[in-house]
Amino acid sequence: MTVPRTRPFVQVDVFAETPYGGNPVAVVLDGTDLTGEEMQRLARWTNLSETTFVLPPAAPEADYRLRIFTPQDELPFAGHPTLGSARAWLDGGGRPRRAGRIVQECGAGLVTVRHEGDSLAFAAPPRIREGALDDEYLDRTVAAFGIARERVVAHQWVDNGPGWAVLQLATAEEVLALEPDLSLIPAAMVGAIGAYPQGAPYHYEMRTFAPGAGVPEDPACGSMNAAVGQWLTGTGAAPSAYRVSQGTRVGRTAGIGVTADTDGTVWVSGTTAVCIRGSVTV
């Protein structure tokens, strides 16, 4: 058992288009000597979609190592905690080895985060599973969403660690109208995306449901948007740069930028603001 001590602690609002409109992440800026069990206990207590712990890196090219916990489990990678933890690390005096680029070490490997002033963007990690959903999984998800299978325009495994799958519907309006019964898919990590009409402020509306991680609906999900971005831009179904609205149905105003470089690297960007600074005794 770790001897409790005071550690710097912040909460960061990620992807917010208006103050306190994004997805918060709790960050313990010194996770040294904490056990996984102790980290999980704190993550369960904060009751946020993710709580992270910053540690000294093991990889020589990394600036820090990050462990990421939902209220139920540890994740190898998550998007909004990556951006929020990078902002917290910079705010706490962290200096990257290379100007304008932070290298985060996590369970999924090394993740690059670009920063220019207040702007942060992470490079999407490789997907560990892709391809169309099998019929049984698709049928269960469609039933949980309460829609006819014919309304699904496309579907795909977009798993970069958390286990994501996604259904594409024809319109953003259809996505916003979903009233899923998550009791039918209690272990799922699944999203829905649909397009806005041309000329709208955003290209797509995204919703992500993570009952498998103890999070019924995530206000803004970087990892889902990263893998969906790889899928949509890689197939030519989306432009090389687009914007996603998320969190509307849970009272948030999140905006997420997705950009694909000519080499195929997908970057996910958004605002990050430290909203709470203090300490936590763990």
Q: What is the pLDDT of residues 175-211, one digit of tens each?
A: 999 999 999 999 999 999 999 999 999 999 999 999 9
Q: At residue 1, does pLDDT exceed 70?
A: no
The letter for the amino acid at 67 is R
Strand partners, 165: 157, 190
Contacts of 235 (CB under 8 A, 6+ apart): none
| CA of residue 70 relative to chain centroid, distance | 11
Give the fold, CATH level 3, of 6-126+270-281: Diaminopimelate Epimerase; Chain A, domain 1 (3.10.310)
Task: Report the distance separating Cα 261 and Cα 246, nearest Å.
Answer: 23
The closest of 24, 25, 30, 28 to 9, measured between CA atoms, is: 28
**What percentage of the chain reaches a pLDDT higher than 70?**
100
Q: At residue 65, does pLDDT exceed 80?
A: yes
- Among 50, 105, 205, 217, the active-site one is 50
Predicted confidence at residue 85, as pLDDT, reads 98
Where would I find the H helices in the chain?
Answer: 36-46, 79-91, 135-145, 172-177, 222-235
Predicted confidence at residue 218, as pLDDT, reads 95
Task: Report the distance separating Cα 219 and Cα 49, nearest Å.
Answer: 9
CB 257 within 8 A of CB 269: yes
The letter for the amino acid at 16 is A
50 catalytic per annotation? yes
Q: What average pLDDT does this structure show over 104-118? A: 92
**9-64 pLDDT, tens per residue?**
999 999 999 999 999 999 999 999 999 999 999 999 999 999 999 999 999 999 99
Q: Which CATH class is domain 129-262?
A: alpha beta
**138-182 pLDDT, tens per residue?**
999 999 999 999 999 999 999 999 999 999 999 999 999 999 999
For the chain, give every residue range classified as CATH 3.10.310.10: 6-126+270-281, 129-262
149 DSSP assignment? G
In the structure encoding, which two tokens stand for residue 199, read together?
Answer: 């000329």
Task: Report the distance separating Cα 99 and Cα 176, nearest Å.
Answer: 40
Q: At residue 2, does pLDDT exceed 90?
A: no
